[in-house]
Amino acid sequence: MDRKMHRTACRIEGRSAAPGVALGPLLRLVSTTSQAPVSRSPAVERQAFEDALEASRLDLVALAGEMKDENAEAILSFQIALLEDENLAAPAFALIADGETADRAWVAAIDPEIATYDGSQDHYFHARASDLRDLRDRVLRRLAGEVDQSLPAGVIVAADDMPPSLFLATDWRDGGLVLRRGSPSSHVAILARSRGVPMIVGADVTEIESGADAVLDADAGALVVNPGAELRVEYTRRHAEQLEARRAASSYSGPTQTASGERVKVMINVTGLAELRDIDPSSVDGIGLMRTEFLFHGRERLPTEDEQYQIYRQMAEWACGKPVTIRTLDAGGDKPIAGLTQTGELNPFLGVRGVRLSLRRLEVFRVQLRALARAATVGNLKVMIPMVTVPEELVHCRALLQEAVDELRASGREAALPALGMMVEVPAAALTIEDFDADFFSIGSNDLIQYVAAASRDEPQLADLARPSRAVFNLIGHVVEHADRSGREASLCGDLAGDPEQAAALLDQGLRTFSVAAGALAPVRAAIARYSGKGA
């Protein structure tokens, strides 16, 4: 105790990514592998591959030991036997010797095996394809340096970067997050805001040691290591205030109106059922964005139709007839999913992501559409397609959705055709919005801003460019105007909607439906209530 008090306080500056204050011991995560796709020698790739195979095998052996269920144990034994069979990895080792990277070599070796099972008429053999995919993804995760681990609660975690799967697996009560990389609009930041986890980015974490006491002031964007007694007292008080403010913000006082009496819908963005537990559906106008990619993260295998259906159905039930807008898988870009998204893209944000990926992985997309069509029988479910660029993509999705409904009904299952809308986040789509056969529009401001400004949201030096500009507001106005004229709904579900300082500018553009992280509900409602009309 005395020793700590004599240590000098050290302040590390960063940028706020999710507001709040946290106090606690620091935990420094050191990533095991370099994230950068540097070219490495075949010998290094070979070693990395061997390590990943062995680590995966040990993971599976450990998992098998925990399993009580005979079937689960059998699947794991099968996967372990596959890993122990040199024949499986042999083609990968040959490719690595020829200069291929370990991850690509592994995919090239195992995908043909998966294809032979996929092509089997025998449903039992057919089903083994998923065991192989699972194995492929496990090794890929190991190659990417991801570890099956969870972090202790109540600590301030400092790391270079963090995959969403690890964030989601962590109990963040009273904890906080400090990252060197990432940006306030990265997906972990979105998760942190929606779950009320204080977080800063752009902080130099290299000198941080685990175990030191710290306070994280994510409002100011700074971490103080070894704070003095005075600082501790101050932040303990602020921490208590924060808890109190959160309790107060969750109280709700009727539908949102502007000062001039105009009704504005405020919906919430969610990533899963857990966030809905503490929210009364009567206090919001529905779910404006459910990000399904988080169902695909941190898992042993892709979610099945039934697993997805159960989640969508429970959301629809929770909403009691209010709209539940479910975005189909938006993987790619900064949201890679091992074994699904393409690896080695030079510019993933301009690559095969969102609907572009779904239309190339129809076997995955169809499962999701079937689950959605089944859940649409339960409530007011709406399906939203991300990254739509040209009208044909939406036409294709509509045909696939209709097919899913027809197939389900033909096999005696209940299904309904949900409304089909699109995210407006590609400038080409925003500019020609009248060409799209969408039942509703939802503006994805995070991507729209970075594509309009040609400035990455993950580049701290360009933070001034990657902001909502007049160009962005013009596009938003254009989309909202078209939606109004054609009698369809336009909402905005990006971070822009959750920023109370931007509410007036968005209302000026005619926007009357906001979808925000649960944590932003109270401040955004307050800002809307202050609005008394354009130019006022």
Does the footprint of another protein cover residue 291 (CB under 8 A)?
no
Report, in Å, the least distance between residue 449 CB and another protein.
48
SS (H, E, C) 59-87: HHHHHHHHCCCHHHHHHHHHHHHHHHCHH
Residues 6+ apart with CB under 8 A from 398: 420, 437
Report, in Å, the least distance between residue 110 CB and another protein.
10
**Among positions 18, 22, 60, 75, the unique one binding another protein when judged by CB under 8 A:** 75
Decide whether 1 or 124 has the Cβ nearer to another protein: 124
SS (H, E, C) 247-273: HHHCCCCCCCECCCCCECEEEEEECCH
Q: Is 493 labeled as catalytic in the residue annotation?
A: yes
Of the listed pieces 48-56, 125-133, 165-173, 194-202, which binds another protein according to CB under 8 A? 125-133
Decide whether 54 or 84 has the Cβ nearer to another protein: 84
Tell me the C-alpha distance between 169 and 39, whole Å: 31
Report, in Å, the least distance between residue 132 CB and another protein.
10
Report, in Å, the least distance between residue 112 CB and another protein.
11
Does the footprint of another protein cover residue 112 (CB under 8 A)?
no
Tell me the C-alpha distance between 155 and 26, whole Å: 6
Q: What angle do CA 411, 417, 421 make, to 5 degrees?
A: 140
Tell me the C-alpha distance between 22 and 441, whole Å: 38
Does the footprint of another protein cover residue 113 (CB under 8 A)?
yes
Q: Which amino acid is present at 529? A: A
Tell me the C-alpha distance between 156 and 446, whole Å: 27
Q: Left, alpha or beta for 303 (phi > 0: left; psi -120 to 50: alpha)?
A: beta
Does the footprint of another protein cover residue 61 (CB under 8 A)?
no
Decide whether 74 or 153 has the Cβ nearer to another protein: 74
> To 10 degrees, what angle do helices 123-143 and 102-118 make?
170
Decide whether 126 or 413 has the Cβ nearer to another protein: 126
Tell me the C-alpha distance between 522 and 250, whole Å: 7
Decide whether 68 or 485 has the Cβ nearer to another protein: 68
Report, in Å, the least distance between residue 145 CB and another protein.
27
SS (H, E, C) 26-57: EEECCCCCCCCCCCCCHHHHHHHHHHHHHHHH
Does the footprint of another protein cover residue 68 (CB under 8 A)?
no
Of the listed pieces 115-123, 169-177, 337-345, 383-391, which binds another protein according to CB under 8 A? 115-123
Q: Is 10 labeled as catalytic in the residue annotation?
A: no
Residues in contact with another protein, total (CB under 8 A)?
A: 19
**Among positions 52, 82, 199, 426, the unique one binding another protein when judged by CB under 8 A:** 82
Report, in Å, the least distance between residue 119 CB and another protein.
10
What would the two tokens of residue 411 be?
A: 């096999």
Does the footprint of another protein cover residue 87 (CB under 8 A)?
yes
Decide whether 73 or 481 has the Cβ nearer to another protein: 73
Report, in Å, the least distance between residue 85 CB and another protein.
5
Decide whether 120 or 226 has the Cβ nearer to another protein: 120
Does the footprint of another protein cover residue 88 (CB under 8 A)?
yes
Does the footprint of another protein cover residue 116 (CB under 8 A)?
yes
Q: What angle do CA 8, 12, 14 make, to 5 degrees?
A: 165
Environment class of residue 419 by beta-carbon count within 10 Å: exposed (0-12), middle (13-18) or buried (19+)? middle
Q: Is the dihedral angle over the CA atoms 510, 515, 519, 521 positive or is it negative? A: positive
Does the footprint of another protein cover residue 69 (CB under 8 A)?
no
Exactly one of 187, 239, 297, 482 is catalytic; name it: 187
Q: What are the residue numbers of the active site?
A: 187, 493
| Contact positions vs another protein (CB under 8 A) | 74-75, 77-78, 81-82, 84-88, 113, 116, 120, 122, 124-125, 128, 131
